[in-house]
Every structure is written in C-alpha cells, then in structure tokens.
Amino acid sequence: MPHFENAQIRDIKGGMFYDIRGEARVQVSTGGGLSAFEILHRHVAESAFHDSSARFPPPRCHPDTRKGVISEIMAWHFHGADKDRCGSQSYSGEQAQKKPILWLHAPAGAGKSAIAQSIAEHCSGKPSSLAASFFFSRDVAERNTEKHLVATLAYQIALSIPVTKPFIENAVMDNPCIFSRSLETQFSKLVAEPLIQGFAESPSMPQWPTLILLDGLDECIGNLDGEQKQCAIINAIYATLTCFNIPLQFLIASRPEPHIWNIFKQPDVLSISHYLKLDNSFDCDQDIMAFLCAEFARICTYHPALVPVVSWPSQKAIRHLTFKSSQQFIYAATVVKFVGDPRYNPIQRLDAILSTSTKAPLSPFINLDNLYHRILRAAQLENIDATLTIFSILEFCPKPLTLANIVGFMALSIQDINLLLYNLHSIIRVSDLNSQVKFFHASFSDFLHNQSQAGCYYIGGGDRCAQVVQIFLQVALYEHCQCVNQPGLECHHAYAQQHWFQRLSDAEPNPALFKDLVQYFLKVSKDLDEDCYVVQHIQTCLGATVSVITWLYRFLLDFSYVPQNSGTQVLLDFQGLFDRIIKKLIDKTVRGLIDNLSESGS
C-alpha cells in the first residue's frame, strides 16, 4: 500500500490515514473518530486541576504565612523527610525515600487546601516537580467521586511527562472500558505501566516530575459510600507504589477522619507513609495574625470609607480575632471576606463582628455556619440529640472533661460514645479515654449558642442547661465513688458533686428537675445528721444551697406544675438547710482549730 511506504508503524488498531509528502501519518482513533487522548479527556475532571479556572480564585497561603509547614513538605518532596512527626524516629537519605506518601491532616478550616494550592503552584513552577494534582470537593459532582481520579491524573502525567503519553493512549485503546475498572487496575494501566515504559524509552532524561497531590480526600463522598471510596484510594496508591518501581510521591491532604486514620495506621501503609499534623508547633497564631494585619492593610488601602482612618483596626482587635480563630484559618478568612466587602462600611462590619450577640439578625459567618451544618449532618442523625447532649455537657462544665468523664455522664459505653462522635473528628478533639475532649474551634461554641446560626443544633436554651444540671445532679445523688473523698482524683462523680449547681441559674424549670432538687435536700439533710461531710464538702453544699434558693426565688411563680404551697415549702426547706450548713461549717472549722492547737501544744 502506498500509504505505508517508508513508514515506521508500531501498532495500528483502526484509524484514519493521511498520505502527506510521501510519508504516512497515523492518527489512532475509534470508529467514531475520537483519538485515544480525546477519549481520556472525556473522563477527566478539569475543575480538579490546581490551576483550573473553575476554582478561581483558589485558596492559597498568604506569602508571610505557613512557611514552616511548607518548608517541611518541600523537604520531604525534594530531599526526603528530615523529620517524621508521626513518631520520634527521624528519617533521611535512602530510608526517607522509602516513604513516598505524606499525609497532611488537620481539622476543618485549618487551611489544608490553601497549603496544598501553594505547594502545587510552587512545584509547577519548577521543572520536574509536579506530575499531577486532584482537588476534591464535595459540592462539585465530578470532584466528589473517585470515578474521574485516575483519568485526571493520567491526563496530567501525559502532559508533564510527555514520553508517557503514547503508552497511556495505548492503554486506552487496548481497553476503552479501563475507566470503569477498579482503582488498582486504573493506576496500574494508566499511571504505573506508562511511567515504566516511558522511563525505559528515555532513560537518559535526568529528572522527572514526581509529585502527585490529592487535596480534600475526605470530600470524596461517592454515592453514600464515601468512607469506603476514600480507603480504596489510599489502598490503590499503596498497591501501586509497592508493586511497581516508580519514583512517584503522593501528598494527601484531608481531615483526620477515623477511617482515614485507621488506614494510615495499618503497618503496611505506615511503612511507606509519613504523616504531618497541622498543630501549634507551626505557630499558627503568628501566621493568622500576620494574615489579618496584611489583609486589613489591604482593605485600608483600597476601601474609600477608610481613607481618613488611622491605625485601624486596633492591635487589641487583631489579638481578639486571632484568639477566636483557634489556630484555624477559616475564621480569619471569613472575617476578612465579611469586613472587606466593598459594598459596606468595613468599620461598622468589624464592629458587628467584635460585638456579635446571640440575637444578631445577620451572621457574618454564613460560610462558617454552612460548614458546621454540613459536618453535623454527617453525624448519626438518629442519635443527634445524644450528640448535642455531649456538646452541652462540654459547654456547661466549667472544667475540661476527658472521654472517660463523658462516658460516665452519658451512662453509655466507650464504644457508643465513639460511634456518636465518629464523623465529628474535624470539629472535636477525641483521642484516648483519659485525654481531654474539646472543640477545635472557639467559633463552634459560638455557633452552638446562637439560635439563628445553629438552627436545630442550638444548645443555648434553658432546657438544654436544665438537662445538663439534671445529668450532673443524678450522678451526685445516686452514684458513689472514692474519688469524691480524694480531691486529686477527678472522675465524673467528683465533677458532678462539685459543679452540678453552677449553671442552675440558666436552667428552665421542669417537674423532673424540681423533683431532683427535693431529693438533694433530703440527701444533704441526712448526711448532715450523720456527720458525713468534711469541711470542703460542706462548703460545696453551701454553694449549691445558695444557688437553689436563688433559682427557686426566681422561678417559683413559674412552677405551674407544682402547687404554690409545695413550692414555698421547698424554698423554706432549703432556707432551713442553709442555716444548718452554716452552723455545721462553723462547728467543723472551730473543731479543726482546736485539734490543731492541741497537736501543736503536745
């Protein structure tokens, strides 16, 4: 055939042929006329690229911030990690190179995507650095699934490492159904094998792009099977890196969700993985303060309402906003976006934030509110009331609580508590039984106490407060533990004994609470008769009795479910109890002084 005279043809499977200047050029295509690269393109999520216009403007780090964590990631990428924050052991040289996965994790709103974007931009500007990237997003259909992941990575690898392109095209033509195969198969056929074949064809090329960046892995929600898909992605990456000798590195950023933690803790995956936690060792407060100062300076420069204003905002306001950020950039970024809106007066808007009340009709933090609603919707909806009860206990207790304390107060097993909080690790810190349980964000506490923001998740009402008072009081009345008599031990019994009454003034009256208060009166009266208390406990009973008397005075007329004479009698009983406690306290104190004098005299 004259078309193929003097032609060097490796493989033909169908196609369109053109005779140009005596040489045959072959464009591989399907019967429908699409080239292999066009078929690949049809399965690509373009909006997942780090430089996609669909993500404009992408989140990125301010130039004066995140220097520590970016430096650490770049050290891992270019030189192998000098530090491994998952343990005390350090890795360098060949040992470090054996760990080609870096998992960057932090709570919601910590700025992981901005860090990932900055890394991607930094590496894309350097030859032989960024091979491909994929930015997941739960709100975008093509980016909240694993279906387009490998095709999107392969497409970018074909462009960043051109010698792989014909081999990727061959893989597509050999099996047009490759995009519906398992993740392991896709990684093998579209990424690993083309890299090996490309390297074999051009072994003299000095350096190849090696970094593949996946951001927001936890936002790959799939078709209601997101956790399984996220784990499958990690397992597929592990299989690819261990089955093929390819020089790829994977930077994976996500929230520290339990199922992701569990995968990275598996010995085989851990053996090739570092993990990096965004914590206070990176001086987040200083970064947030620098970001706020720079952004407010920008607002001052470009906003006409601020031309005559000097030294705005105050350093006190900057420090307050930094504190409220709780080391999470999302709060600071939300403040800047709200204050810097050119349609409004920035001075008034900042004042609104600094003086935001729980009854404010306008929430400056609508994006932050949406984030919290989205996270809470991911919890077990059938058990959301129990989850909100845990939040209420954490909020209303004046001292930090451990997971063991929460287990005691809720009268549930540790397994049940962990299940209730399973999908909430991005907003609440939960680790072992004796570690403190606390919210990552101070703004989350504000959210829970603002009814217009929290909606059905609101816990600021008097009924929630009454519920917590009753939980504490029930423990104080009916549970007994040696820790009550040992101040150094603070299990949930001691918390209940010492603090049950401290939020009583905010509690709405109800029949069950009234009944428990009557039981408390009877218990304390009996214990005083039997002289069961030491001075410290008598002082606690005195504080509790004063709180009950104050509360009864305030709500006595509201006890529609209690006969007036009964309510008055309970008030008189507690007033009498107050007198008895004062006398007992004086008696105990005088006896203690006499005993001390006697011991010193002898």
Give residue-wise pLDDT tens across range 65-100: 999 999 999 999 987 644 443 332 333 334 445 699
Q: Which helix (H) or strand (E) holds 133?
A: strand 130-135
- Over residues 490-509, the pLDDT tens digits come to 688 888 888 899 889 889 88
Query: pLDDT higher for 180 or 335?
Result: 180
Predicted confidence at residue 311, as pLDDT, reads 80
> 367 or 275, which is more confident?
275
Identify the pLDDT of residue 554.
Answer: 79
Question: What does the pLDDT read at residue 280?
Answer: 75
Convert the pLDDT of each residue in 188-212 to its tens digit.
999 999 999 999 988 777 678 999 9
The model's confidence at residue 303, banded by pLDDT at 50, 70 and 90, is confident
Return the pLDDT at 4.
52
Q: Point out which residues pair with 252 in neighbouring strands.
A: 103, 214
Higher pLDDT, 42 or 138: 42
pLDDT at 561: 59
pTM of the model: 0.74
Cβ neighbours for 313, distance < 8 A, ≥ 6 positions apart = 296, 350
Q: Tell me the mean pLDDT in the region 530-551.
A: 84
| 369, 427 contact by CB (below 8 A) | no
Ranges of each domain in the chain: 1-33, 37-282, 284-355
How far lies 201's CA from each of 44, 173, 527, in Å?
26, 20, 88
Q: Report pLDDT for 173.
A: 95
* Burial (CB count <10 Å: 0-12, 13-18, 19+), residue 394: buried
Q: What local confidence, expressed as pLDDT, does residue 495 receive?
A: 83
Q: Which fold has domain 37-282?
A: Rossmann fold (3.40.50)
